[in-house]
Amino acid sequence: MNQTPQPLRSVVEQARIDATIIEIFQDLVSFNRVLGLEILSVRAGDVRARFAMRPELVGHYAHGRLHGGVISAVLDSMAGVALLAAVAERHPRDGPAELALRFTRMGTVDLRVDFLRQGKGEHFTATAEVTRLGGRIGSAQMRLHDASGTLIATGAASYVVA
């Protein structure tokens, strides 16, 4: 992102915006509650979340590993978190309500996920990086690591943004 940040928000206002982003993805998106996604950071350059392994997230019953759909869902959500955070940065006068409205106009256009290694272990960490924020389209790259730091999956997503 070459975009110059416009840090017009006070620390308190930014904290409110961050809390709004987390609330949207962690609490209001029902399916993310199924996944148990816990968002740890929404700062540009450090968008990060984690979730714990649970029996209902298993795919291959023979291996006890994460279902590919769980990985896809998490990486899709992470792209959304990173892009909403970038949208918030681009509109520094937006309050929580305006940002929530922008979110309702966002949506995933398409998603690619590469499943590199088996998703095993007690918990997983997902990160996302915005590679483009245009007026109509946003793009992000996502990564999922297991508890030992091994790269489990990578992803790329295109979103419509507002």
Q: Which residues bind to a second copy, rule: CB under 8 A?
A: 2, 28-35, 55-63, 67-70, 72-74, 76-77, 103-104, 107-117, 131-132, 136-137, 139, 141, 150-151, 154, 156, 158, 160
In whole angstroms, the minimum distance from the beta carbon of 120 to a second copy comes to: 13
Q: How far is the CB of 13 from a second copy (least distance, A)?
A: 23
Cβ 34 to a second copy, closest distance in Å? 5
Q: How far is the CB of 8 from a second copy (least distance, A)?
A: 26
Q: What distances in angstroms separate CA 111 from CA 20, 78, 127, 146, one per listed residue?
A: 24, 12, 15, 21
Burial 33-42, CB ≥16 within 10 A → b, else e: eebbbebeeb
Q: How far is the CB of 54 from a second copy (least distance, A)?
A: 9
Q: What tokens appear for 109 in the block?
A: 């256009």
Closer CB to a second copy, 14 or 58, in the complex: 58
Residue 52 vs 58, nearer CB to a second copy: 58
In degrees, rounded to 5, the angle at the alpha carbon of residue 142 between the alpha carbons of residues 141 and 143 is 135
DSSP state of 154: E
> Sign (positive/negative) of CA torsion 157, 158, 160, 162?
positive
Residue 133 DSSP code? E
Closer residue to a second copy in complex, CB, 29/44: 29
Gap between the Cα atoms of 141 and 126, Å rounded: 11
Nearer to a second copy, 10 or 30 (CB): 30
Q: Which is nearer to a second copy, 43 or 112 (CB)?
A: 112
Of 25, 57, 58, nearest in space to 40 by CA: 25
